[in-house]
Chains A and B, each alone.
Chain A
């Protein structure tokens, strides 16, 4: 007899879903998906203890539970609040939430350098997405923005604190994924910073994952910096036999060249299989990998643009608007020009590929 677990009914933005006890509001909303899922800048499912810091995922709880239907007095961080049976949550249907979220985005942006045009994270940056959705065109901040010097943390990672939003994800990653903790948060308040204190190098086998978890461009891959824009690259699932990690990665290619290797992210931008530094930084040739196929990027990101996904043949509108007549200028060029001879099929001309005898005319290759 299968165990029947009691499921909690939770209503988020008038959509009811049943989830297991112990699920957070954010996870329940993600099950519904779409716009109902609150944005999360600091929460990261695989990292224990993360979340609650950025305050972008604030939601209104209109009714606590069936047993205690009082509303919660404040907006709550949905990533760290568990659902109760009969809970009613308002996310995008609450004006209070939208207002608070706009405020948080404004706070996150006042000290952000907004250097997206020269930032490697642009195109896959969560803060960029968030500010497109909730930000304003102008800023009300008239003061000098907070800046820090760039720091190289070892040969592979660069830290640019100016862009950091202090989500603490990298600190948790270093704590939980890699063997020893080498960096943390120094100072407090608006001058707090991610730092290594004395030893300016992060070197252990899994530290590269901090680049993947960083929601902004504060931690970047030094082997990839300024090499290419992410939307010019084609992501491909690949794997290799790695003694240290799962070896399941995403390759970012342009042509045949592997520009960078990252761990595989789900649609919320979260990594579930951490990869080692060797896979990430040293195996940058296609021959190192077994390619499985193209990666689908489900997030509304520019990376998905121009990847011939769901392309539709354009409709011929000219004949429609001209009452069925084709315009004169667009007549078939072959019939006008005498240079081209449409009767000759170009692909049938003799050449290296089609000729009976292959002759290499290039003397250099002899």
Chain B
């Protein structure tokens, strides 16, 4: 049984309320942290090796140390709760069932970064969670963990919850800041990075919900102890939201020492594929990351066992690997159609592209139309090459990572499941009646510029 640091207390009745949470060791990290110097807290986070849980996996301590500290300019901490990636629902679980953990992490992080006003930018569809968070904030304020002069330290901190209006793009940190400022949620052109010029041109740190929640156990147990959990640079625990064709979908906390095979088949986690079906493919980290066929999921191209860590999942690059991403683990069994699945994702990215830069605005729509043709039996053989060419020209040429996120699933699907695309084109009528079944995994295509 793996170690649980974040959602271990979720089962306790009434943990959503301050009193119960406090009784079970809540807000201890605040008391501990306020006796430390802010720089020491940042140092502790650096030691822990905590990596951003939002998808990119950037070391959090390093991000915090980049924060510019000019005199007379406020600094802001923004919590990115705009969790809209298809297949990812870990932050929702965290905020819904143990909201005080996030508030506690936010208070500690705000103190470390010197942010007197901290914002939670929450996905618009999570309407009921806003109420939960606001209640938690109010409780924390009444008990002196928020507001003016917290724990007689002289540090003031307020947390504001802002709802988004239903745009995936506002999960991109600069688009989130634009939206928070009340503007159209278009990503900004970087540099300058938010650490220098973020919210209202002030230095800003934007972190994922899970990252900020993980600050609490780090302060409680110490950075060194936290870094002992996990393998190599993948330290600590990670929430994985598993869904798709598995027996036990849900949110699981793993300590990044287990293998992918164990995660899929162990009864403690996903519990295997239902109805005795076979595994066809899996997206290990949310819809943006490359899909992996079954033969590459459990073993890397080198023949090593694939573990649930940042490094192991990315082993082999995009040629034969994938990414940890945001931890949205989507499993596809033999009855699923990869073409249809890719079309669904392409439709999502077409709909969510902000329309600011041309490759993403035009390319995502084009890809969706071609995939639509292939899926509904109107495809042509050279459409597959055209799709490959379009994704190649979107990737890396856009302002924000949404272009990449739209290109990668299409690229990976063609790279690993070209057979299935070709079968759809060659059998337009049969492909409307049945699925291709298990793939004869084609040779992975060469990766261009990744």
Contact = CB atoms under 8 A, between A and B. Distances in A.
A187 B351 CA distance: 10
Nearest to B369: A143
Interface stretch (B90-98, B205-213, B252-260, B352-360): B352-360
Given A52-B357, A52-B399, A140 B189 contact: no
Interface residues of B, number: 29
Contact of A103 (B189, B352, B354, B397): B397
B280 interface: no
A338 to B, nearest CB: 69
B117 to A, nearest CB: 25
A140 B359 contact: no
B357 A190 contact: no
B186 to A, nearest CB: 8
B362 A100 contact: no
Nearest to B396: A74
Contacts of A55: 357-359, 397-399
Contacts of A140: 386
A93 B393 CA distance: 18
B362 A108 contact: yes
Contacts of B184: 184-185
Contacts of A197: none
Nearest to A141: B366
Contacts, number: 91
B358 A104 contact: yes
A108 B363 CA distance: 9
Contacts of A189: 350-355, 361, 364-365
B137 interface: no
Contacts of B392: 103
A110 B361 CA distance: 11
A108 B358 contact: yes
Contact of A54 (B350, B352, B357): B357
B167 interface: yes
Interface string B339-357: 0000000000011111111
B169 interface: yes
Contact of B355 (A80, A100, A104, A187): A187
A104 B359 contact: yes
Contacts of A166: 355-356, 358, 361
Interface in A171-212: 184-185, 187-192
Contacts of B167: 188
Nearest to A56: B358
Nearest to A73: B396
A139 to B, nearest CB: 11
Interface string A52-78: 111110100000000000000011010
A110 B386 contact: no
Contacts of B352: 188-189
B448 to A, nearest CB: 10
A103 B169 contact: no
Interface in A253-300: none
Interface in B384-426: 386, 392-393, 396-399
Contacts of A188: 167, 169, 352-355
Contacts of B356: 53, 166, 168
Nearest to B380: A142
B362 A107 contact: yes
Contacts of B189: 51-52, 77, 80
A190 B189 CA distance: 20
Contacts of A143: 366, 369
Nearest to A54: B358
Interface string B167-203: 1010000000000000010000100000000000000
Interface in A5-48: none
B350 A103 contact: no
Contacts of B369: 143
A100 B364 CA distance: 16
Given A52-B189, A190-B353, A190-B355, A111 B169 contact: no
A165 interface: yes
Contact of B362 (A53, A187, A190): A190
Nearest to A185: B184
Contact of A53 (B353, B357, B393): B357
Contacts of B366: 107, 110, 141, 143
B358 A190 contact: no
Contacts of B359: 55, 103-104, 107
A268 B13 CA distance: 68
A55 B359 CA distance: 8
Contacts of B365: 111, 189-190
Contacts of B357: 52-55
Contacts of A165: 358
A168 B399 CA distance: 15
A154 B397 CA distance: 37
Nearest to A140: B386
B354 A58 contact: no
B361 A190 contact: yes
A61 to B, nearest CB: 13
A262 B291 CA distance: 54
A99 B351 CA distance: 26
A27 to B, nearest CB: 16
Contact of A75 (B354, B364, B396): B396
Given A53-B399, A190-B364, A107 B358 contact: yes
Given A106-B393, A107-B366, 8 more contacts: A74-B397, A75-B397, A100-B393, A108-B362, A143-B369, A166-B358, A188-B353, A188-B354
28 contacts: A54-B357, A54-B358, A55-B358, A55-B398, A58-B397, A74-B396, A75-B396, A77-B189, A77-B399, A96-B449, A104-B393, A106-B393, A107-B358, A107-B362, A107-B393, A108-B362, A110-B362, A143-B366, A143-B369, A166-B355, A166-B356, A166-B358, A168-B356, A188-B169, A188-B355, A189-B353, A190-B365, A191-B355
Interface of B: 167, 169, 184, 189, 350-359, 361-366, 369, 386, 392-393, 396-399, 449
Q: Give the top 7 A-B pairs by smallest Cβ distance, nearest first.
A: A103-B393, A192-B355, A52-B189, A107-B362, A189-B353, A190-B365, A189-B355
